[in-house]
Chains A and B, each alone.
Chain A
């Protein structure tokens, strides 16, 4: 009985060390995933439709969200000719 106590203490120490290691690894892993996800967040991406960015833009119309999604501005005018194409719900 007398010799069991040090072994229990050693076991507890090893268990505590292991728990700390697991905690450190978990935090490190979480931070790695978090950083990767942040780095890939759409706010850091390039525009997906550069071809249509040549339209006129007003200051009001150049609103861009925190997520990097730009609505830009619509440019419309009255028409006096027959439509070439139709917009509709698909």
Chain B
């Protein structure tokens, strides 16, 4: 997945299982491996495609996440993110003068999964990275024999309390569940002089113009925190209230200041 994975509380057996699990997730869901199942599905010209159980589970979660966020976290933005210039491994992306490609809106409602049958219009390019990394963190945590945590690319799931450092400084104790940060500072580049990043707003089909740099959210699981952080980021000024309506603590780092929502302040006075 192109990110470092940190594990605490693993014995030799569970560590090996976690290592294998992440490697398998990468081989199935990578956009940059020609032989990945994701690329095979995206290349299929039929409306119905048979997929692996692992793939089907990820699609189910992605569709559920889209529904829970009114489509903000959309799994059908593969074409849009490629149009923005993220069409190869991030380490290989260089800013250049070419303008970004045409905007492509999200279309998650056209995607259905029935058991192992995936139904979507041909030409749809799924990008499941909105949920796959954090899903993997949650599943990896389940492989630990006791208390511990798993972190991948800044997304964390824990069983037992763990001290977590926050973007820009400061920290907290994550007592249970997950914590994730989404934003535009990690993966950014430019096209035609315009800044681009990997968080596409499905309403515009372009990289989000959110006022925030990073949004960190704690939730019951890592995937829930990740999805909520992405939605809150995309909602820009409405993000803090959106999280409060769901009882989720959120911390928003802006250009000039950092703000927290009510749920955050209630737990971290």
Residues on A lying within 8 angstroms of B by beta carbon are 33, 36-37, 39-43, 45, 48-58, 60-63, 65-79, 81-90
Contact A67 B63 (CB under 8 A): yes
Interface residues of B in 32-56 (CB under 8 A from A): none
Tell me, in angstroms, the Cα distance from A27 to B163 when the chains sit together.
Answer: 57
Contact B63 A42 (CB under 8 A): yes
Q: Which chain B residue has the least Cβ–Cβ distance from A66?
A: B67
Contact A74 B249 (CB under 8 A): yes
- Assuming the A-B contacts A68-B64, A84-B164, are A90 and B221 also in contact, with contact meaning beta carbons closer than 8 angstroms in the complex? no
Q: Does B225 contact A (CB under 8 A)?
A: yes
Contacts of B223 in A (CB 8 A): 48-49
Interface residues of B in 115-154 (CB under 8 A from A): 115, 117, 119, 133, 135, 138-139, 141-142, 149, 151-154
Minimum Cβ distance to chain A for residue B112 (Å): 4
Minimum Cβ distance to chain A for residue B114 (Å): 4
Contacts of A54 in B (CB 8 A): 159, 176
Q: Which chain B residue has the least Cβ–Cβ distance from A86?
A: B165
Q: Does B180 contact A (CB under 8 A)?
A: yes
- Assuming the A-B contacts A63-B246, A86-B154, A86-B165, are A52 and B186 also in contact, with contact meaning beta carbons closer than 8 angstroms in the complex? no
Contacts of A75 in B (CB 8 A): 174-177, 218, 267
Tell me, in angstroms, the Cα distance from A33 to B119 when the chains sit together.
Answer: 10
Tell me, in angstroms, the Cα distance from A61 to B267 when the chains sit together.
Answer: 13
Contacts of B67 in A (CB 8 A): 42-43, 65-67, 69
Q: Which chain B residue has the least Cβ–Cβ distance from A58?
A: B247
Q: Mark B1-19, 1 if CB is under 8 A from A, else 0.
A: 0010010100000000000
Cβ-neighbour of B163 out of A41, A58, A74, A84 (below 8 A): A84
Q: 5 smallest A-B Cβ distances: which pairs? A: A72-B220, A74-B218, A55-B176, A67-B67, A90-B153
Count of interface residues, chain B, beta-carbon cutoff 8 Å: 80
Q: Does B217 contact A (CB under 8 A)?
A: yes
Q: Which chain B residue has the least Cβ–Cβ distance from A35?
A: B114
Contact A61 B248 (CB under 8 A): yes
Q: Which chain B residue has the least Cβ–Cβ distance from A48?
A: B61
Minimum Cβ distance to chain B for residue A35 (Å): 9
Q: Does B179 contact A (CB under 8 A)?
A: yes
Minimum Cβ distance to chain B for residue A69 (Å): 4
Which among B155, B167, B218 has the greatest number of chain A C-beta atoms within 10 A? B218
Contacts of A87 in B (CB 8 A): 151, 154-156, 164-167, 179-181, 216
Which among A39, A41, A52 has the greatest number of chain B C-beta atoms within 10 A? A52
